[in-house]
Amino acid sequence: MSVITTAAFTVSDSTSKQERYILTQVGSWVLVFPSRWVAEIFRVERSQILDLPAYPSPLIGVIHHNSQILPLVSTHQILQTEETNRRETAVIIHLTHPASTLSNVGLVIDKALGSASHDQLPAPLFATSALHPEGTSGMVLCQPDWFTPDLWHPQA
């Protein structure tokens, strides 16, 4: 999947600079999320994930969680990395309303690493929406526009 974006995520006010960010591991990358996007982080047995073969590849399936159907997206496929160590349990970041089009979506990651403030992260991280930005020490800030609008539409 080729991802081309032109809009950069920028921090424009002092409240955003005070925000915390959740750091996660996806292969060799550290995928970063604004904490206000994250409803919860939880584990699920991979056997509970229901496959959806008629959907595009980043969407790996759905689970029933807290009385909702939660679509799951592979962050390995989004970041174009190979998943080398597939575990029996999947770690899922459940995104919430501030994540825009990714609201009520689960992103499957390798592991949660912790959190950091804006000042603790490399400045180039906030200046680009590139999928693999330079000068960020292997970190990338999750961007909603990496996900195609037809991600949830069945493919014939």
* pLDDT tens-digit readout, 40-58: 999 999 999 998 877 777 8
Does residue 129 form part of some domain? yes
Does residue 80 form part of some domain? yes
Number of domains in the chain: 1
In the structure encoding, which two tokens stand for residue 75, read together? 């962050």
Does residue 153 form part of some domain? no
Q: Residue 124: in which H helix or E strand, if any?
A: none
Instruction: Give all strands (DSSP E) within 35-105, no chain letters.
Output: 38-45, 59-65, 68-74, 89-95
Q: Which domain holds residue 112?
A: 20-146
Does residue 96 form part of some domain? yes
Q: Give pTM, 2 decimals.
A: 0.80
Judge contact between 22 and 33, C-beta under 8 A. Answer: yes
Does residue 121 form part of some domain? yes
Q: What is the CATH number of the domain that holds 114?
A: 2.40.50.180
* pLDDT tens-digit readout, 106-129: 999 999 999 999 999 988 888 877
